[in-house]
């Protein structure tokens, strides 16, 4: 790919790789990891109780993030074109951007969301969303 915007796609790919590592790490890191990374209370309770909900849901999220890595890598030509590349990238971009843009609205009624971790997370989600959107643009324009 010859686009000068591929840096955004590589950044989205790195964010997704970090997400994979974090979610797999949480399975081995235990309840403290789930708490630190803001898992919902029922997931933290599952991790503490040793039930399947926490590790299975964490591994499912890691798998979805791994798919994001594959699609971003395909968009910049590191891998062969994956099936449904354009709709996949578009969906990933929408999910990431909506997740990022929801924070200010949710924080109005939920003051517990007004903290540095949530703001940084929203910025990371927004950056990934831009990267997947750029990847979508690259694949629709041919480079």
**DSSP label at residue 113:** G
Would the pLDDT of 87 be above 80? yes
**DSSP label at residue 115:** S
Q: How large is the average pLDDT for residues 77-88? A: 96
Q: How large is the average pLDDT for residues 61-82? A: 97
Torsion, Cα 7 10 15 19, to 10 degrees, reads: 180
- Separation CA 15–CA 143 (nearest Å): 22
If pLDDT is split at 50, 70 and 90, which confidence band does 128 have? very high
- Separation CA 132–CA 113 (nearest Å): 25
**Over the chain, what is the mean pLDDT?**
94
Q: How far is CA 62 from CA 8, 22, 25, 42, 56, in A?
A: 21, 8, 10, 18, 10
If pLDDT is split at 50, 70 and 90, which confidence band does 1 have? very low
Dihedral pair phi/psi, residue 114, rounded to 5°: -90, 75
If pLDDT is split at 50, 70 and 90, which confidence band does 29 have? very high
């Amino acid at each position: 790919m010859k686009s000068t915007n591929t840096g955004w796609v590589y950044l989205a790919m790195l964010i997704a790789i970090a997400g994979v590592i974090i979610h797999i790490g949480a399975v081995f890191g235990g309840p403290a990891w789930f708490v630190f990374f803001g898992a919902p209370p029922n997931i933290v309770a599952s991790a503490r109780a040793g039930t399947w909900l926490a590790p299975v849901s964490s591994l499912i999220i890691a798998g979805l993030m791994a798919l994001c890595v594959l699609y971003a890598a395909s968009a910049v030509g590191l891998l062969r074109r994956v099936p449904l590349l354009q709709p996949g990238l578009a969906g990933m971009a929408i999910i990431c951007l909506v997740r990022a843009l929801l924070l200010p609205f949710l924080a109005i009624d939920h003051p517990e969301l007004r903290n540095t971790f949530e703001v940084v997370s929203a910025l990371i989600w927004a950056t990934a969303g831009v990267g997947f959107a750029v990847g979508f643009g690259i694949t629709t324009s041919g480079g």
